[in-house]
Amino acid sequence: MSNKRPVLSPGEPVLAQRTANRPAPGTWGPKALAVRLPLLLSAAALAFFVLAALVPNALAPFDPLAINPAAAFSPPGSAHLLGTDESGRDIYSRIIHGSRPSLLIGAAATAIGLGLALLLGTIAGFGGKWLDFGVGRILEVLFALPGLLLALVFIALAGPGVGTTVVAVGLTTAPGYARMIRAQIIALRTSPMVEAATVLGRSRTRILATHILPNALAPIAVLGTLGLGQAVVWAASLSFLGLGAPPPAPEWGAMLSAGRTYLALAWWMTFFPGLAIVLVAAASTVLSRALKTAGAR
């Protein structure tokens, strides 16, 4: 056997080094753990909040609405893990019980936004030139308005409340999703798969139902995961302005609004609800990127 080393081109050593730094499939060494740690932490954070939404009484040690004036403004400690608010209510228990309305509002708003976006994106991408033009102009008008302003206009017309907040957030997120779905459907419409089905004489309805929509639904899982965190942030913003869940409901945005008055006295009243919102938004972003990467393989 020859002991000569193979001659590498100038770009191959760099490529070989990058390939060597990637964790091998199925390994759990330090490099693999460093790559997967953000994904594991994000999954754990979302799982915790979903569990809190499903069984809040199993995780919360106190009633989120029970007041205790003697314990008002207690700092984080052994008696109250995350402190108490101006009425002596346990912040940790209120965050746990606030997971249900916050996640439900986020999930429902995301479903409304994706459903409307799928309808508009399908009409624009598969309906022909004039329908594409008309839907495109509608989306441009919606994009011209800031998202929060659009939600505020809708709430001003329909009235404040949880249901109104869900619909407002869904309408706000729909234009961005619709543009992505439209681009996906147009790419599929001109694919060899659809061209072959057209040559075989299949109807447009059958092509849409069997070839385009099933393949266009895959990116929707990524959009839905990313949109969940975005919808939670939007819902918390509206509740912060007093247009969401009415007090004393344990909703994260409402808790932020109540705590801003006592920010210098009790920082934990705003810090921990804000941290919960950031964790959900960041975790959903990391998981959506992981889903997108897995779908591209």
Q: Helices in 22-161 by DSSP H: which ranges? A: 30-54, 56-59, 91-126, 129-144, 147-158
Is residue 248 reached through a cis peptide bond, with omega within 30 degrees of 0 on the bond before it? yes
The Cβ of residue 42 has, within 10 Å, a number of other Cβ atoms equal to: 21
pLDDT of residue 34: 63
pLDDT less than 50: residues of the chain: 1-2, 5-20
pLDDT of residue 154: 84
pLDDT of residue 16: 43
pLDDT tens across 38-73, in order?
A: 788 888 999 999 999 999 999 999 999 989 999 899
pLDDT of residue 288: 83
pLDDT of residue 162: 80
pLDDT of residue 294: 67
Q: Per residue, what are the HEC states of 52-92?
A: HHHCHHHHCCCCCCCCCHHHCCCCCCCCCCCCECCCCCEHH
pLDDT of residue 32: 61
- Provide the whole-model pTM: 0.78
pLDDT of residue 95: 94
CB contact at 8 A, 297 and 276: no
Task: Tell which residue, 172, 153, 295, has the closest CA to residue 233.
Answer: 172
pLDDT of residue 220: 77
pLDDT of residue 157: 84
CATH of the domain spanning 81-296, picked from 1.10.3720.10, 2.40.50.100, 1.20.120.1200, 1.10.150.20: 1.10.3720.10
Q: Per residue, what are the HEC states of 196-251?
A: HHHHCCCCHHHHHHHHHHHHHCHHHHHHHHHHHHHHHHHHHHHHHCCCCCCCCCCC
Structural element, H or E, at residue 26? none
